[in-house]
Amino acid sequence: MSYYQHHLFFCTNQRDEDAERPWCAQCGSVELRAWAKARIKELNLAGPGGVRVNNAGCLDRCELGPALVVYPDGVWYTYIDEDDLEEIIQSHVINGQVVERLRLPEDASP
């Protein structure tokens, strides 16, 4: 068994203001990752054998972001707010059901 049942990586990448590409932090990913981390703790899911919520550098999908990937499942999501993250936590993390409406396409194109 893996050390964590699920590992949630949130892109919190920041670019220079004059960057040509968007970045996830400009969509609130830093604050929303903090909310998800607190929510996982509140649900008593945090820690070994449970769930770990981490910052990630650029996941290179910022055009579709903010981006979040859930491992070991390798499912990529986008989200807008706490409600979206709550749905990912309840449906995917707790009940094992992928949230298709928030899932990013598997191919690399935006």
Mean pLDDT, residues 43-49: 95
pLDDT at 77 over 90: yes
Say yes or no: domain 6-102 is CATH 3.40.30.10.
yes
pLDDT at 41 over 70: yes
Closest CA to 42 of 85, 96, 98, 78: 85
pLDDT, residue 13, reads 74
pLDDT, residue 23, reads 62
The domain spans of the chain are: 6-102
Mean pLDDT, residues 25-49: 92
Mean pLDDT, residues 61-71: 85
pLDDT, residue 17, reads 76
In sequence order, the 6+-apart residues with CB closer than 8 A to the CB of 24 are 10, 11, 12, 13, 58, 59, 62, 65, 66, 67
Distance CA 83, CA 74 (A): 21
pLDDT at 78 over 80: yes
| Banded model confidence at residue 108, pLDDT cuts 50, 70, 90 | low
pLDDT, residue 35, reads 98
pLDDT, residue 65, reads 76
pLDDT at 1 over 70: no
